[in-house]
């Protein structure tokens, strides 16, 4: 048996053992108070994106990201207009035919597939905060302690190759066709991002083109052109954070004048960074983030996204 076949086999065994455990012990309760009620709660979040929601966080219409209907733009037109010109683009209706889009807002479905599997969780508002740490815990514990409403501390299942670990979730997703456009036509990482409202991925860059697929809930995303690097306070030290900005409070941009003043006082050059795009990423959307473009991501509800990095 080759290495890959053997690994595939082990993953199938793990999935089967997991479903036996679920059948034998059931799905752990999400609430100490009312387990019955919790199991009847079907959906995590299904607030569909109205135009108002889409536009509410765009700082100025001239910075709204171009939006295309994935059913109306051909792959070749996407390539010409966006991929070849390294222009970010939001493709609406792009993942609405995925099983994951239909099923993953049901927490019980996710628990059936993953309740007893161990997952890494980032604790703290963002990975540049001083109080940030990581813990490994069963998925059901993560959902109960960090994802369901009423939890006070932020925990984020972030940038985790969940589909290498849990094969039974793979049949719900598809590789986005846009990833074929890379020079080598290869994926360089497929990662899950699952968490409550309020997770923040601080402003950073990645070395690969990215299709970020939104399957549950919505997120605010700001993208800066790499030309703006001199205005974005790139960190100088720390291997983990060398691709990350020192601007840890970019979310203040969304609030009142007073908060924006605090941000501008601490990072005065940010006001010169005018080459940027804003969007609200809604369930069913895909977002093209060109490689080396700065991006900041904040969840506005319980959210499940997958990033497809390709080369
Ligand atoms: O969704 C997030 O929180 C961050 C996503 C991201 O940074 C990425 O896909 O590269």
CATH at 227: 2.60.120.650
How much is the average pLDDT of 227-236? 94
Given a contact cutoff of 8 angstroms between Cβ atoms, the answer to whether 298 and 200 are in contact is yes
Q: 305 CB less than 6 Å from ligand 1?
A: yes
Q: Residue 292: give the domain boundaries.
A: 3-310
| Cα Dmax for the chain | 64
The tokens of 211 are what?
A: 């299709």
The CA 272 to ligand 1 mean position distance, Å, reads: 24
Q: What is the pLDDT of residue 47?
A: 58
Where b means 16+ CB within 10 Å and e means fewer, 148-165 reads: beeeeebbbbbbbebbeb
In percent, the amount of the chain with pLDDT more than 90 equals 69
Average pLDDT over residues 50-77: 88
Residue matched to tokens 């387990």: 35
Query: What is the domain count for the chain?
Result: 1
Assess contact for 187 and 310: CB atoms under 8 A: yes
Ligand 1 center from residue 201 Cα (angstroms) = 6
Angle of the 3-25 helix axis to the 107-114 helix axis, nearest 10? 120
**pLDDT at residue number 32:** 62
**In 3-state terms, what secondary structure has residue 141?**
helix
Closest atom of ligand 1 to 307 CA is 9
* Mutational test site, ligand 1, from 297, 302, 304, 308, max ligand atoms within 8 Å of CB: 297
Q: Kindly report the CA angle at 151 between 146 and 155, in degrees rounded to 5?
A: 30
pLDDT for residue 198 is more than 50: yes
The pLDDT value recorded for residue 187 is: 95
- Is the pLDDT assigned to residue 161 strictly greater than 90? yes
Place of tokens 């456009």: 181
What's the CA gap between 278 and 280, in Å, rounded?
Answer: 7
Average pLDDT, the chain: 89
pLDDT score recorded for residue 166: 94
Name the pLDDT band for 252 (thresholds 50, 70, 90).
Answer: low
Least confident range of 46-50, 98-102, 163-167, 192-196: 46-50
Mean of the pLDDT values across residues 287-298?
97
Taking the CA atoms of the chain, what radius of gyration do you get in angstroms?
20
Compute, in angstroms, the gap from residue 289 CA to the centroid of ligand 1: 10
């Amino acid at each position: 048996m080759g290495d890959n076949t053997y690994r595939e086999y082990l993953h199938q065994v793990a999935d089967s053992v997991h479903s036996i455990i679920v059948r034998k012990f059931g799905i752990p309760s999400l609430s100490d108070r009312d387990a019955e009620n919790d199991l009847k709660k079907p959906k995590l979040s299904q607030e569909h994106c109205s135009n108002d929601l889409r536009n509410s966080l765009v700082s100025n219409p001239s910075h709204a990201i171009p939006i295309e209907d994935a059913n109306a733009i051909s792959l070749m037109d996407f390539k010409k207009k966006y991929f070849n010109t390294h222009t970010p683009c939001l493709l609406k209706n792009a993942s609405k035919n995925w099983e994951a889009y239909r099923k993953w807002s049901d927490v019980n479905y996710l628990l059936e597939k993953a309740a007893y599997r161990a997952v890494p969780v980032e604790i703290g508002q963002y990975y540049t905060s001083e109080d940030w740490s990581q813990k490994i815990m069963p998925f059901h514990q993560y959902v109960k302690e960090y994802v369901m409403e009423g939890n006070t501390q932020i925990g984020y299942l972030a940038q985790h190759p969940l589909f290498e670990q849990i094969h039974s979730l793979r049949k719900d997703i598809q590789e986005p066709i846009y990833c074929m456009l890379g020079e080598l036509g290869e994926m360089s990482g497929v990662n899950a991002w699952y968490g409550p409202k309020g997770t923040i991925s601080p402003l950073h860059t990645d070395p690969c083109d990215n299709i970020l697929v939104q399957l549950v809930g919505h997120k605010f995303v700001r993208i800066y052109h790499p030309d703006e690097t001199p205005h974005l306070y790139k960190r100088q030290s720390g291997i983990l954070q060398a691709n990350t900005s020192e601007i840890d409070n970019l979310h203040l941009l969304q609030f009142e004048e007073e908060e924006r003043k605090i941000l501008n006082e601490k990072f005065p050059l940010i006001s010169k960074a005018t080459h940027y795009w804003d969007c609200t990423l809604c369930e069913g959307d895909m977002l093209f983030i060109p490689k080396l473009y700065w991006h900041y991501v904040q969840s506005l509800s319980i959210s499940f996204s997958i990033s497809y990095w390709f080369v």
